[in-house]
Chains A and B, each alone.
Chain A
Amino acid sequence: MSMLNLTYEVDGDDFTRAGEASSAVKKRLRSLGIPPEAIRKVAIALYEGEINMVIHANGGTIDVAVDPDKITMTLKDTGKGIADIKKAMQEGYSTAPDEVRNLGFGAGMGLPNMKKYSDHMEIDSTVGVGTTVYMEVYL
């Protein structure tokens, strides 16, 4: 059992609310006295993941587990899934619609940024079923 478990439902219909969960997690981690560098890595990785959930999967669930040695993030959605994960991991590759680009995202940096800021990442995705992303940041 982890020291702390946080769960958030991400609303897929409202882009303006995307990031609220990441912001709440950041605040909680700060109150726990987690080192700022680790908090920033968690916040950015989670925020990109949350944005992805809203853009591509009509929302989902975020679980964050805090342990003495690591923070584990699990982002689960029941969206359309990722057909080619290797391609999706390439910087600049994006399937996001144009209106998302007008909002400052959809440049194909989401998954690469998530990989960059997490110390370990795994993607489990099935087309038509959904995607689960696991990320760990070591403390």
Chain B
Amino acid sequence: MTVRDVIRILDAKVICGDESLFDVEVSDACGSDMMSDVLAFVKNQAVLLTGLVNVQVIRTADMMDMVCIVFVRGKMPDEDMIAVAKRKDMVLLATPHRMYTACGLLWQNGLKGEHKDA
């Protein structure tokens, strides 16, 4: 699955991110509003789905080398967050779906990762 697929599957609006990043392959994702939980499990997740909107979401994704953040329920980051994400070459997306649905749609469409430890 590519970032472009994520955009399509989630009916997502692109908040920022160069189009060249849309072809990046993503193999796993993580859905959480608790950033320490995101940091606790390194599994090469490339996509972070969250309902939390503050700059620490961007920094957490940066520490984890994630390429794409999806804000659920149409939440929108502010200008400062967008500026940081742009500096990190990250794609920010907003989907109208709720967390549960957004994660389910990506899973159903093949974004399943390894999940050996699940």
Contact = CB atoms under 8 A, between A and B. Distances in A.
Interface of A: 15-16, 18-19, 22-23, 26, 36, 40, 43-44, 47-48, 51, 103-110, 112-113, 116
B1 interface: no
Nearest to A116: B40
Contacts of A105: 34-36, 56
B55 A113 contact: no
Given A43-B62, A103-B54, A113-B39, 7 more contacts: A18-B59, A23-B62, A26-B63, A44-B63, A44-B64, A104-B54, A106-B36
Contacts of A112: 40
Quick one: which of A19, A51, A110, A116 has the most chain B CB within 10 A? A19
A109 B64 CA distance: 16
B40 A109 contact: yes
Contact of A103 (B42, B50, B56, B65): B56
A15 B59 CA distance: 12
Contacts of B56: 15-16, 18-19, 51, 103-105
Contacts of A18: 56, 59
Which residue, of B34, B36, B55, has the highest number of chain A Cβ atoms within 10 A? B36
17 contacts: A22-B63, A23-B59, A40-B65, A47-B59, A48-B39, A103-B54, A104-B36, A104-B57, A105-B34, A105-B36, A107-B34, A107-B36, A107-B37, A109-B34, A109-B36, A109-B39, A112-B40
Given A22-B63, A23-B59, A40-B64, A16 B54 contact: yes
B80 interface: yes
Given A48-B36, A113-B40, A104 B60 contact: yes
Contact of A44 (B42, B52, B54, B55): B42
B63 to A, nearest CB: 4
Contact of A36 (B50, B59, B60, B65): B65
Interface in B35-85: 35-37, 39-40, 42, 50, 52, 54-57, 59-60, 62-65, 80
Contact of A16 (B34, B42, B55): B55
A104 B36 CA distance: 7
B89 interface: no
A54 to B, nearest CB: 10
